[in-house]
Structure 1
Amino acid sequence: MYGKNKVMLLKQDFQRVLFISHNAFSTTLNNGKTYSSFFEGWPKSKLAQLYFQNEKPNFNVCNNYFHITDEQVLMNKKKNIGKKIDETNFNNIQKTQSSVHSYVRKNPKAILTLIRDIVWGINRWKNRNLLEWLNEFKPEVIFFVGGGSLFSYKITKFIASYFNIPIVLYFTDDYLTIPSKTKTIEWLNSKRLNKYLKKFNKSVDKIFVIGDDMKMEYQNKFNKQCISVMNSVDTEKYNVIRLKSEINHGVEKSKIKIAYFGGIHLNRWKTISVLSQCIREIQKEGKHFDLDIYCVEKPAKEILEEIHHPPYSNFKGGVNEEHIISKMMEYDVLLHVESFDTNMIFKTRLSISTKIPEYLACSKPILGIGPSEISSIKYLKRETESFIINNIDKVTVLKVLNEIFNKKDELNLIGEVNYLLAHKNHDSYKEREKIKSGITSAVKQY
């Protein structure tokens, strides 16, 4: 009897959280994996998610979903927009990504973002389907992942006002800094979003951000305290997998295996292409490297031709979620890249890749390639034992490849140091406690 009451008491310590984001909770996709790590162990009866991509959600941390997609808003009658998803109708979702979103992702033009906001701004999503689902759950607080599309902020503000509940805001990328006025539409989109945020900010109680660089800027922007919460990992799980693995962690005398895991959008493929060329060139000196590229999305033919050059560099496709950790551990060095394009630097400068904590927890050295002003690269250089390339010219890349080859006997030791850092800075329990504390405080103070 005592044990049962203790469990009930623990559940009472958790608020009913409505999680709103573009991506669903996931065990494979980077954003969804981060969200899931924050709410692992949260009572499922007190967690629901509203999301906007046509993705298949995962039921590990949440079993109550509602999704509204671009296609629904464009083509369905108002009464048919929005759909509740649970484990009974999960298999009825055929696509894993909306075709509209796929096009926008491959063609990231500001005019498309504006058109999308205008279409959603008609408010056809505001119907009985959504309201019935919300009233059934009765949220006490909203955890909202802020993005670059104005419509999601308006939906969040409507729900917060409807239930008179606070908003906990989370930013993973910088969508708010207004770009150069030379790009008129992009400047207009940022201007519209920042103007609306002045109204939206009144309902925001707590702000979580991806790293310390963003924390400093956003505290001034919002005039509110920001809390840095990075992607977290179960370091003990990684260590168990590593100890159970039969993989030979020693580096081959004549070859170093490098792997990249993640998206190649935002022109990251261009950086990978230069590395691939340098790997081919350094073979002439008798220093052999293999580069394997793992990405869920198959790239366009012209991009594939730039990064897939067997046997030196190989596009491998996606990795099953059950095997991705052990797959990472097969390699000697793990690769993180950023784009050197001016526009992409602007978009990613305050972001810290969700993949970095996973790399560190694998007990592997990291090769980080990207501009020095991007937070991911700054973090790798400041906190970790990593090989860093801040200039994408071939002379610099070849120099660092030589450095890696000359230190091949030290790579395992470097990896051990990185694992300790993962445990210190990215342990999932510590990050979840920050989230829980912030949510509890927001509800009590509202």
Structure 2
Amino acid sequence: MTSLNNVLSLPRPLGDGLLLRRAASADTEAVADLNGRILADPDESPQILADWTRDLMSGRHPTTAVEDFIVVEDTHTGQIVSSMVLIPQVWRYEDIPFGVGRPELVVTDPAYRRRGLVRAIFEAIHTLSASQGHSVQGITGIPWFYRQFGYEYALPLGGARHLNLTDVPDLKDGESEPFQIRPANAADIPILMELYERQCAGRLVTTQIDENRWHYDLNGHSQDSIQKLCVNCILNSEGRVIGYYSTSAHPWHERLIVWEVVVAEGISLHAVLPTVTRALKMQAQAYQPQAGIEPKPITTLRFSLGLEHPVYETLAAKLGPFQKPYAWYIRVADLPGFIRHIAPVLEKRLAGSVMSGYSGELKISFFRDGLRLAFEQGRLVEAVHWSPPDSDHHWDGAEFPPLVFLQLLFGHRSLDELCYAFPDCYADEEPTLLLKALFPKRVSLVFPLG
């Protein structure tokens, strides 16, 4: 830990008796109290944030430890006044895995705000993330704020449609459920992993969820943590698992959030959904809030299944209007390095395009800096930082406002959409063909592991 502290330049005085340092186990209750007190919504129990914090600091989490928290201590009082955690995970760009650090639980006591504490913590968090081999950082956070720290909205987050509980079909008299529902357990993990990969198929960026993470999601979260999931298996008449669905254990604004609904190949989702929605309705009606929270009946199922999902099509007549997704903030500190990492995907795309076998350069300006990609017979042979010309004379290439290129890289927006939205986004004829071949718009499915 000492050598890493040296890399992070921690502990480090920030002035006025404030000390930036990595957390220790003794800080757990102070950090949990700070997160619960400041981050909980008015209609939420502080315990759901506090228990999540305790879980992350407990040593039981599959990727996160107490040392992944960076805190600011007021040494005059011993109080923890600002904090953030890095939650490591692995995502995939098509079939290429890459390390991701997720900064979370970003908090500062109101009495200590506007002193640059979050910026100081971010510097340490980014260094910590790089030390763990992460090429990308991703945040699910409040509007605009994280743009200050090198982040750009570049992947969809959420997207949902709603089903009123009153529209869930009842069983007819004398009818029995054609499918059965039961809680998932550790023995189900192999089939759950197989089904999870089925829903990832065809998506550009996906979250890699290994066996350890499945064990944790089934049995590791504290009961009152905001991250607690309910995972249920769908069984056919023979008792075989043919699908699963997952929900948040705790509702959000009188809505039960459904994160996943997956069935095996050859199984009719249309046939399964009536049983699933009835089980979800029973779950919603049985929910009891934490002590001290006013009970409010859950009235709606929120199918938060992303930009597109077969459930939206199957239940279209009963669902409310589509609620467009928010977005992940994404940061890529070494853009050329990431491009080189995903080169096999880019080369495959190029080979299947009108630019197959291309030899030459693609120069991309971000105005203050840029990126140069060199190809030989369709192979990426170089991806490096590049300085665009100082003058405003024409050159054959492409231009993007700073960080906007990340939207193209991660398939969030097409080149045409970016050129329409940003007057300072431009590409010449050949660069246009290359960019459209290399970076098409694609749907992603990225779960924020916490």
Name the TM-score class by shorter chain. under 0.3
Larger radius of gyration: 2
Task: Give 1 or 2: higher strand fraction.
Answer: 2
TM-score using structure 2 length: 0.26
